Structure 1
Amino acid sequence: MTDTSIPTTIAPQVLLVNHFKTLKLPTFAREYEKVGNECARDDVDYARYLLRLCELESIDRERRNTERRIRLAKFPVTKSLDTFDFAAIPGLNKPLVLELMRGEWIDKRENIIALGPSGVGKTHVALALGLAACQKGMSVSFTTAAALVHELMEARDEKRLRTLQKQLTNVKLLIIDELGYVPFTAVGAELLFEVFSRRYEHAATLVTSNLPFDEWTSVLGSERLTVALLDRLTHHAHILEMNGESYRLTASKKRQKQTVQTKSIEKEDARPI
């Protein structure tokens, strides 16, 4: 007969921590003594003691999962709408952007296309929407159009294209930034089209571009391919028109003006009295 009793030579605390690790309950291991002392002090029964531990574990687990989703998304930087200046882009539909932050468009497998010149905050909005999706438990992948095409062509050469295509198809939200800055080869454009085609009505895609739709042929190289791509991308899409002056250009002008003013003041101070 097997003896299942707990060895008396091992402290219960050590066994508890080992069980917590086995069951993957790190917050239990970290907090059980502290919460136990608090409950004993407040005369809280064992059920509420366990409830407090479970709540702490749940909160901490969601935090870790969110951090993991953000890490896997490969955002170049983490940005939210808290730092976005809507006043600088008066033509942008702010109520729509705030509504999109709820993420229902992702569940509906819809798309977003943000159009506008360089520097108006298209990437900022895309990053904020991607962050919100991660916080709501959705898988996200961020890439630029040029990097994605390069990755697709590399995968094709290494005979792992199907694996990559499957990954790109199954991610809940795919963000493709900066479509329009670099023209693609015929093969690259076809591989990119295949990504959009596979995700059509299967998962949500967000695209930012500095070009209006009628100029996308200059990047994709084929009018037939462009029409087919736009047909899929815009079928269930929210269009964000972001026209305005570049944030970077505005900041540069502001710095130049401040420099001129500073030099003028220094000259005035340097004049002999």
Structure 2
Amino acid sequence: MDNKQQLIDICKELRLPSMRRMVLDETSFQDSEQAFEILLKVLLQEKKDRFIRAKQSRIRAANFPQKKLLDELILDYLPEQAQQKLPQLKLLDFIKEGQNVILTGSPGTGKSHIAVGLGMEACLAGYRVFFATVPSLINQLKEHRSERTLRSFELKFEKYDLVIIDELGYISFDKEGAELLFSHLSLRAGRKSTIITSNLSFLKWQDIFHDPVLTAALTDRLTHKSHVVNMVGPSFRMRETEEWMKGNAEKMVAQN
């Protein structure tokens, strides 16, 4: 492909109609071939910069509490089922298929890290991501309801490629919160992907929703064609703390 055709294509991709018309009209340039070569270099750099800015913008918009990467995980520390399923989840095919990922198990086993790591991968791959803890999301929903902007929030919420809901089960909530959470997660069921982390098994979700019918309906919708990952195991954070303490003790012994 010659420089002129590449310029035409990249002007179209970057939405630069005036520049594209000038390229098509070669009389706009005295030495067209040299001008095309210089302009192509400039626009290729602009395309690269836009791509980087777009990734950074998606990560900022997702509102992650921390920027955790999957590569930072020590796989051997993860529960067995997480070790088995993580390579498949990292491909992000579950987002293309509109499937959910539910990580349930003991505190400190890497649930939130995996959820944020998958969210970061999704942002880098061009997907729009929304992150919130359960208490934060319920507070947002209640505020939107009181300000009569709930419908506007719903329209945005159901269009995200991936929604990550962290810490289900750590804090109980009232009936209004349960109903709001149920209705918004139902908006996405079967169409868009949601990742949920919880320290509770499905049998105990009723303890926080306080409604067996609503709990059964939500569990059924979330688990349909979803990836359920058992995260029961020893604390990831506790192992890191023990290793850190061991390392410090060895340093003190060496110094003495």
**Identical pairs, percent:** 36
* Deviations 1:91-147, CA, capped at 9 Å, x for gaps: 134353222222221121111101121111111111111011111111100000111
Q: Tell me the residue number matched to 1:31.
A: none
Q: Tell me the residue number matched to 1:125.
A: 114
Q: Separation in 2 of the partners of 1:83 and 1:130?
A: 14
**Unmatched runs of 5 consecutive residues or more in structure 1:** 1-22, 26-39
Deviation (angstroms), 1:24: 9.2
Deviation (angstroms), 1:223: 1.1
Alignment of 1:107-186 (within 5 A): 107-186=96-175
Deviation (angstroms), 1:204: 0.9
- Is the aligned partner of 1:246 residue 2:241? no
Asked if the contact 2:169/2:208 (under 8 Å) is kept, the reply is yes
Moved more, 64-73 or 96-105: 96-105
Q: Tell me the residue number matched to 2:210.
A: 221
Q: Separation in 2 of the partners of 1:116 and 1:233?
A: 17
Q: Tell me the residue number matched to 1:32.
A: none
Larger Rg: 1
Q: Separation in 1 of the partners of 2:201 and 2:250?
A: 39
* Deviations 1:167-195, CA, capped at 9 Å, x for gaps: 21111111000101011111110100001
Q: Tell me the residue number matched to 1:102.
A: 91
> How many pairs were matched up?
229
Q: Separation in 2 of the partners of 1:264 and 1:100?
A: 43
**Unmatched runs of 5 consecutive residues or more in structure 2:** 1-13, 17-30
Question: What secondary structure sits across from 1:192 in the alignment?
Answer: helix
- Is the aligned partner of 1:209 residue 2:198? yes
TM-score (norm 1): 0.76
**Superposition RMSD in Å:** 2.4
Equivalent of residue 73 in structure 1, options 62, 65, 72: 62
Q: Tell me the residue number matched to 1:87.
A: 76
Q: Separation in 1 of the partners of 2:247 and 2:45?
A: 50
Question: What secondary structure sits across from 2:81 in the alignment?
Answer: coil
TM-score (norm 2): 0.81
Question: What secondary structure sits across from 1:170 in the alignment?
Answer: coil
Q: Separation in 1 of the partners of 2:253 and 2:117?
A: 40
Question: What secondary structure sits across from 1:92 in the alignment?
Answer: helix
Question: What secondary structure sits across from 1:191 in the alignment?
Answer: helix
Moved more, 155-164 or 45-54: 45-54
Aligned partner of 2:203: which letter?
Answer: D
